[in-house]
Amino acid sequence: MRWWRHLFAPSVGRAFPPARLQAITEAIAAGERGHGGQVMFALEADLPLQALWQGVTPRQRAEQAFAQLRTWDTEDNNGVLVYLLLADHAIELVADRGLRGKVGEAQWAAICAHMQQQLRQGAVHEAVLLAIEEVSALLAGHYPPRPGSNGDDLPDAPQLLG
């Protein structure tokens, strides 16, 4: 069944036309003005056949994307990747080591649950915006904005994978 979902996954362009991608870019930038952390959004329509054959899970793919996109490359090690795999309807949040001990697994799981609820209602774009807003609120509680810092170690634009 998973193979079929990936073979016939909707295209990224259909699910996220340019105006929606721009709205996500703006939401990340606005959120980062309120905290000293970094948020990155990565989107993938489907996995390559080799990854499916190897049984790569959405979590494993999100961790690969975290490294590939260098989400860890921030001054305070406080980058967070919001990853969405359309074919599996999977959401993963990967946080850098600077957030360990500050944000509990239950808090990350709650954000994923809120996003999953929106996805079940067919509100894909709204789910992403909600996740960005909730991640930004968490980061603001632990990393207030620093005066004089441009606070933009990572790109705000969505990263399209695959």
Burial profile 89-128: b = 16 or more Cβ within 10 angstroms, e = fewer: ebbbbbbbebbeeebeeebbeebbebbeebbeeeebbebb
Look up residue 33 and give its two tokens. Answer: 């003005």
CATH class belonging to 2-142+154-158: alpha beta
| Mean pLDDT value across the chain | 92
Instruction: Give pTM, 2 decimals.
Output: 0.92
Give 122-162 pLDDT, tens digit per residue.
Answer: 899 999 999 999 999 999 999 998 776 666 789 999 999 97
Q: What does the pLDDT look like over 45-74, one tens digit per residue?
A: 999 989 999 999 999 999 999 999 999 888
One-letter amino acid for residue 145 of the chain: P
Of the candidates 47, 45, 111, 119, the one whose C-alpha atom is nearest the C-alpha of residue 80 is 111
DSSP class of 148: T
Indicate the domain borders of the chain. 2-142+154-158
